[in-house]
Structures are given as C-alpha cells and as structure tokens.
Homo-oligomer: A and B are copies of this chain.
Amino acid sequence: MDFTYDDEQDALRDAVRGLVGRAYSDFEQRRQTTKADPGFSEKVWTQMAEMGVLGLPFSEDDGGVGAGPVEISIVAQELGRVIAPEPYLTSVVLAGGLVSAVGTTEQRGEVLGALSAGESVLALAHDEPGSRWSSSATAVTATEEGGSWTLSGVKEPVVHGARADLLVVSAALPDGGTGLFLVEGSAAERTDYATYDGGRAAKVTFSGTAATPLGEAGRDVTASIATVQDIGRIMACNQAVGAMEVALRTTTEYLKSRKQFGVPLNTFQALNFRAADMYVSLELATSLTQWATMVLATGDAEATRDAAHRASLQVSRASRHVGQEAIQLHGGIGMTAEYSVGSYVSVLTALERLLGDGQHHLSALAGGIGDYGSIDPLP
C-alpha cells in the first residue's frame, strides 16, 4: 500500500504540467482558445502527441506507450488543474479506450496509431436523447445487408463530434445487444455547438450511413462499454480533483489579497472556516480518487466498477461543494467569464454530467449495501 508516485511518474507530471502550463496557466489564453473553434488548441494536441501523452493507454503494438492507469491519472489531474480544453478524456480515454478494448488487431494499430500520433481526433458517439449514462444504445440502430453495415438515428450530445476525424458509434444490433462501429466524421450529418464548459458538442445524425463494425461484427459489447465508462469515470474524477485543487487555491489566494471593509477577507473567520470545509471535501475526494485509480490498476473489472461508483459519488459531492463555495467566497468577480474560477465551476459541472452524476452512483451503491458488512479498501 503506497500512495506516493515514483520518479518516472513525477517526471511525467512535470512534463505535462510544463506543457499545459505554458499553454493555459494564463487563464486568458484558455479563454481565447475556447472561444475559437474547435474549442481547443490543435497545437497543444500535437504537442501532447509528441510527448507521448495521447498514446499512454495503448499498447506499444498498437502504436501507443503502454502505460498504466496511474500515468493516465496524472495526465488527467494536470489537465484538470488548468482546465485544459483538449478532449483527452473523450477522445483518448473513452473513444480510444473502446477501440483498444474491442477493435481488431488491424483496427487498433491503424486507429490508435493515428490517435497517438495526434493525426486523428476521435469522438465517442454514445449518448442519446433521453438516455442516462447507460452502457447500451437504443436510438441509433445498426443494420446489416450483405455483409455491409449502416447506421440510422441520432446521437446527442457528442463531445467534439464535429471536429472528430473518426467517430466511435454505439448502436443497437439487429439481434439485440449493443455494437460499436467506426464512421468517418465527414460521413455523418453533424451540427456543432459550444457547450457551457468551453468545449464543443454536436448532434450527429445517421441516415443509413455506412459504418465499419469495431471488432467482430454483430457482437454485443455492452460489457466493454461499461468497463471503459468506469475507466472514464475514474479519469474524470482525477481531472476534477486537479480542477478543485486549483479552484480552492484560487479562492484562498483571493481571500488573502482581496480587501473589504478595509481589511483582507481572511480577517473574516466565517469565510476561512468555509475554505477549511472545502479543503476537507477535496482531501476526501482525492483519497477516493487515488484509491479508485489503484483499484483500476489491479485489472479487476468488478472491483473497478465499485470503485468508479464510489469515487464518482464523492467527487460529485466535493465538486458541488467546492465549486459553489469557490464562487460564493469570491463574490461578484467569481461570476464573470474573464476571471478563472467560474470556468472551473463550469468544467466541474460538466465533468459530473459526462458519465453519471452523484445520485446515479449513489443509487447503484445503495442497491448493494446488503452484499457485504463493511468495506475493506486493501485487497
């Protein structure tokens, strides 16, 4: 049992921090980047590729680096700290993760190689209007005719769906279950729009659109989708922890420097105590997130499912608490788009909705309390 990072991991953190720090530690740069399409910096994306960050999760055979969850979590934390708008979570962890999990050897090599090299941006087209973080698809259906597959239906919201070169699309299979397909971005009808966290999403419409089965044609991969969602949840938690850390630090620095009634705000005990409570929330969320990352590293899918629920629940509570208080303790300036803290809150709000909110995870956990006496975190 060890909660410390090794030297290589520290070096990775320093490198990523250096890269995204140069790009976004001046908040105005982040703001300008998100204002212009595609909502992130192609240059930073390329630099991440060059640094090997985009290929971290994928095996060397597939053109990746073959690193583990802890390394990916470090990247997520650092992206969270500057709320970098690059679609690491959706493109690499989720879409790439699914290609890695169910793609054929050939598909993995081709798609993940290009993704790792920064040559191809992926998007996961999975959410459907009315769905709530399900692992299956119903609104988009797949049809086979003479060995060729087509898709019909609407996916929305698809994060960075309009920018994506390649879409990983879930669809209901003719014989039941959910399959995954690859579709060239340009082959689908896409309506692009901005999202409140500074990103972009799209409505993606398939109308008998030609699609290539990912992996074995016609196979139900609901379980793989669920597993990759769990990985995504744990990485979203890491990203949120990074964002909360900076939101809290920004707040305490503001309390120290901002004067009201002729004295700095940290003269007011009630405000300091609330900052202390934010710290408590952050520490607890950090602990569960680091633990979930380590559980993921053990490779036990069932334990990872549980850990993803647990970390997500705690991070949901913390994100709302820390985010809402960060704005409140700032006062008016926290409401403005020019100042950073509000954007941190927007990103925290969005991260929670990407793969399941607190109540979603709480309900799942509440259903299982009868299955054990107490929880032992150490296997």
Contact = CB atoms under 8 A, between A and B. Distances in A.
Interface string A244-275: 00000000000000000000000011101100
Contacts of A270: 269-270, 272-273
Interface residues of A, number: 5
Number of copies: 2
6 contacts: A268-B269, A269-B269, A269-B270, A270-B270, A270-B272, A270-B273
Contacts of A273: 270
Contacts of A272: 270
A212 B283 CA distance: 64
A33 to B, nearest CB: 40
A264 to B, nearest CB: 14
Nearest to A276: B270
A268 B272 CA distance: 11
Interface of A: 268-270, 272-273
A125 to B, nearest CB: 35
Main SS of the interface on chain A? helix
A51 to B, nearest CB: 46
A358 to B, nearest CB: 18
A167 B272 CA distance: 56
Nearest to A273: B270
Nearest to A274: B270
Nearest to A272: B270
Contacts of A269: 268-270
A269 B273 CA distance: 10
Closest 6 CB pairs between A and B?
A269-B270, A270-B273, A269-B269, A270-B270, A268-B269, A270-B272
A270 B273 CA distance: 7
Nearest to A267: B269
Contacts of A268: 269
A273 B272 CA distance: 12
A270 B269 CA distance: 5
A269 B268 CA distance: 7
A270 B270 CA distance: 4
A260 to B, nearest CB: 13
A342 to B, nearest CB: 24
A62 to B, nearest CB: 50
A272 B272 CA distance: 14
A266 to B, nearest CB: 12
A272 to B, nearest CB: 8
A317 B272 CA distance: 26
A255 B268 CA distance: 17
Nearest to A268: B269
A274 to B, nearest CB: 8
A272 B271 CA distance: 12
A270 B268 CA distance: 8
A279 to B, nearest CB: 15
